[in-house]
């Protein structure tokens, strides 16, 4: 049995102070952050999509007014695309659906 600071050896019953010596079992694997909570994924992913659209809208407004596309505007557009992509990943959860065959 492993805890944050000690690990009980199953054979001897002694506590090992080294956390890394604890065996990892499949039951100890962590669940994904949002698990099966569809509404949590839609709400947080939608928020990221909307914030990416908001940031991108302000970056496009600066370019549309006739100003030159400065480095800051380009970084702002890239940041907006990253937020939107992160929102899509949270909503569709492509990593959680992958099954590992060992």
Given this model, what pLDDT does residue 48 score?
96
CB atoms within 10 A of CB 31: 8
Using one digit for the tens of pLDDT, what is the confidence trace for 3-48? 555 556 566 666 655 545 555 555 545 566 666 788 888 999 999 9
- φ, ψ for residue 30, nearest 5 deg: -80, 150
Given this model, what pLDDT does residue 67 score?
77
pLDDT band for 78, please (50, 70, 90 cuts). Answer: very high
How far apart CA 35 and CA 22 sit, in angstroms, is 25
């Amino acid at each position: 049995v492993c805890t944050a600071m000690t690990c009980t050896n199953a054979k001897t019953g002694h506590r090992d102070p080294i956390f890394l010596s604890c065996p990892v079992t499949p039951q100890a694997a962590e669940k994904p952050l949002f698990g099966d909570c569809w509404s949590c994924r839609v709400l947080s992913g939608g928020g990221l999509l909307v914030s990416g659209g908001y940031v991108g809208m302000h970056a496009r407004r600066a370019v549309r007014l006739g100003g030159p596309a400065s480095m800051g505007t380009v970084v702002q557009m890239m940041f907006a695309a990253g937020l939107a992509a992160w929102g899509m990943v949270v909503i569709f959860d492509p990593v959680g659906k992958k099954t590992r065959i060992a």
